[in-house]
Structure 1
């Protein structure tokens, strides 16, 4: 069960970068802003959540000109936190994230288009564990005072990125589906 929880958390952590990068606004994410990337999966039917403690995002975004927007997110894989040191040590191993060989997960947008009032679709490349996949992340945007807030959920399949190798490929213990939830807050420039 411990291994299943770790697998679920690792999968979620790797997917989080894609969501964070999707819509970043003309700035980088400053320290102290309430930004978060969380990965949620199920282990034996029970939701498991882990978060990445260290990531950087570079965003150039104007809601009036979304097609000109760009974003890139780099996530420090070793910063994935499941809330327990034993689990955290497991997730960096080769079966899961293989942080020694693949220390970063990245997301880089190729297009951002409107999808309704305050809603956008960020298309880009998500790279986890050396595997790159095309993804589309739905993102909501709002301006709050001097800040820009980007939020969304990006569903991914952990096995598409070889997260959970060997015995962990069995999805009856750790589900293949992972949701990457993100909230990126930037200072408006």
Structure 2
């Protein structure tokens, strides 16, 4: 091969091995995130939270139709902060974690409401029951971090949480407020 043909071939080979920067992968930052809930037991508010959760995220504010999120919560990581209550939660009457170890949310559509506010619609599955839900959320950015926060009201009985005697809503209210604050990396400009 003469020099005239060698140089273009070398240039093509060299450029083919140069790593171009990839688009930033969007990730949940669990250590900076939280999911909590509030129930009322005999009229008294009781706080709980989930210790383990994860998400696969593909969000682009300019391409909402292509944006997706799949969120999983390890239900066995639920705590109410009292050992005797925490021991009851995995049982079949409540979460039945042996049969249903995860709760999941899978998005179907995002909608911008302006000013960093969005709605994401999708399916929420808990304890073998699925419901269509619309989750209102607010997104803010500071540097490379994006924070997503909101409150999702659900009815526990729609997901069979608290069966038998515990289905009595005078003991434990049906309304549950799920609060989330999720820190994300790799999200583009809102």
Q: TM-score, normalised by structure 2?
A: 0.83
1:140 match: secondary structure: strand
| Greater displacement, 64-73 / 53-62 | 64-73
Asked if the contact 1:26/1:61 (under 8 Å) is kept, the reply is no
Q: Equivalences for 1:25-174 in 2 at 5 Å?
A: 27-32=26-31, 34-174=32-172
Q: Distance in 2 between matches of 1:59 and 1:148?
A: 12
How many residues end up aligned between the 2 structures?
164
Equivalent position of 1:16 in the other structure? none
Q: TM-score, normalised by structure 1?
A: 0.83
| Greater displacement, 162-171 / 38-47 | 38-47
2:49 match: secondary structure: strand
Asked if the contact 2:36/2:180 (under 8 Å) is kept, the reply is yes
Aligned-pair CA distance for 1:60: 1.1
Task: Mark the runs of 5 or more structure 2 residues left unpaired by the alignment.
Answer: 1-23
Task: Mark the runs of 5 or more structure 1 residues left unpaired by the alignment.
Answer: 1-24
Q: Distance in 2 between matches of 1:121 and 1:31?
A: 22
1:59 match: secondary structure: strand
Corresponding residue to 1:181 among 169, 173, 179: 179
Equivalent position of 1:10 in the other structure? none
Q: Please give the per-residue CA displacement for 1:145-166, whole angstroms capped at 9, x wherever unaligned.
A: 1101100000000000000000
Higher relative contact order (CA 8 A, sep 6+): 1
Q: Please give the per-residue CA displacement for 1:96-150, whole angstroms capped at 9, x wherever unaligned.
A: 0000110000000000101231100010000000111100000100111110110
Aligned-pair CA distance for 1:69: 1.3
Point out the structure with max Rg over C-alpha: 2
RMSD: 1.4
| Greater displacement, 64-73 / 114-123 | 64-73
Q: Distance in 1 between matches of 2:151 and 2:124?
A: 14
**4+ residue stretches of structure 1 with deviation over 4 A?**
none
